[in-house]
Structure 1
Amino acid sequence: MPAIAVERTIGETKRAVIGGLIGYNEQKMGKQRYRRFAVSLREKKKIVGGVVGEVWMTVLFIQLFWIDERFRGKGRGAALIKKIEDEARRFGAIRSYVDTMSVQAPGFYRRCGYKAFGSIKGYPGGVTRHWLTKAL
């Protein structure tokens, strides 16, 4: 009989789970298209902002986004988002989504054309987590 174990390192289990999911998904949906990439904002050679995302099948997931405070409100963040969306389109993405906390950037993403599709309340300090999406 199989045993359940809690593990402090996740590498081996993560690889097994991903492999199992890929195999299952390919049976149901065909060959998986997956691409991970990042776009950076640089001042000289130093990274002062960036966005990291992945396209799975036809959807871009914006995983991480940050820009140094000195460069906020000057259109550079929107330019980073546009650049990762453009790259995702080249890979075949037709939709994008992102999640952000109420103390982070939901207004920024709305200004970039994203629409809310879900939220979860209950984070410390009255913070809410928001999910937003946009057709590319």
Structure 2
Amino acid sequence: MSQSQPLPTIEITDNPSSARQKALLQSLRHFNANTMGYNDAWPLFLSITDGKDRLQAGLSGRTIYGHLLIEALWVDESLRGQGLGSLLMAEAERIAIERGCYGAQVDTVSFQGQDFYPRFGFVCVGTVENFPPGHTRLFFHKDYRNSSEVPKDN
């Protein structure tokens, strides 16, 4: 850096503005789109509610670069084991394939979904031990082109 230019300022915050976060993501996506020649990111949000519009279960993610990226899957503890997670997964994957995806990715922690995702044909492709302490972070992938697995009921 030349002496005539001011030094950059690094802002450290636990609560960034939504505008700053949006600008960061848009800048990265713009760079990626210019490099790859396209941007096919499309949000995906599925929710299950009761008759009073209270959230009972949900899946949040996006389809991008030919993949379904599952960012969050949650089922209320009182409703687990009743097939709601399976229902959400089946619908998310159906939509992803409809959107042209050929694979899916999700990461989870050993106390959450290590037995759930393999039922859908996901394969563990990597781990980080002791993250969080005493547990393992797991990275799963599924290739729709080579998968004939059908989700099993809970």
- For 1:19, give the aligned amino acid: H
1:37 is matched with 44
Q: Distance in 2 between matches of 1:54 and 1:46?
A: 23
Specify the structure having the higher radius of gyration (Cα): 2
Q: 1:103 to 1:79 in 2, by over 3 A?
A: same
Cα offset for 1:122?
2.6
- CA deviations on 1:94-119 (whole Å, 9 max, x unpaired) are 11110000111111111222111001
Cα offset for 1:49?
0.5
Question: Do residues 6 (structure 1) and 14 (structure 2) align?
Answer: no
Unaligned runs of 5+ in 1: none
Q: Distance in 2 between matches of 1:46 and 1:68?
A: 11
What TM-score does the superposition give when structure 2 sets the normalisation length? 0.77
Count of aligned residue pairs for this structure pair: 132
Equivalent of 2:86, from 75, 78, 93? 78
* Runs ≥4 residues deviating over 3 A: 2-5, 12-15
Residues 12-91 of structure 1 aligned to structure 2 (within 5 Å): 12-26=23-37, 31-44=38-51, 45-91=53-99
Q: How large is the RMSD of aligned CA atoms in angstroms?
A: 1.8
Higher strand share: 1
Cα offset for 1:84?
0.5
What TM-score does the superposition give when structure 1 sets the normalisation length? 0.86
- For 2:109, give the aligned amino acid: M
Cα offset for 1:20?
2.1
Deviates more, 1:9-18 or 1:48-57: 9-18
Cα offset for 1:18?
2.9
Unaligned runs of 5+ in 2: 145-154
2:108 is matched with 100
- For 1:54, give the aligned amino acid: R
SS of 1:48's equivalent in the other structure is strand
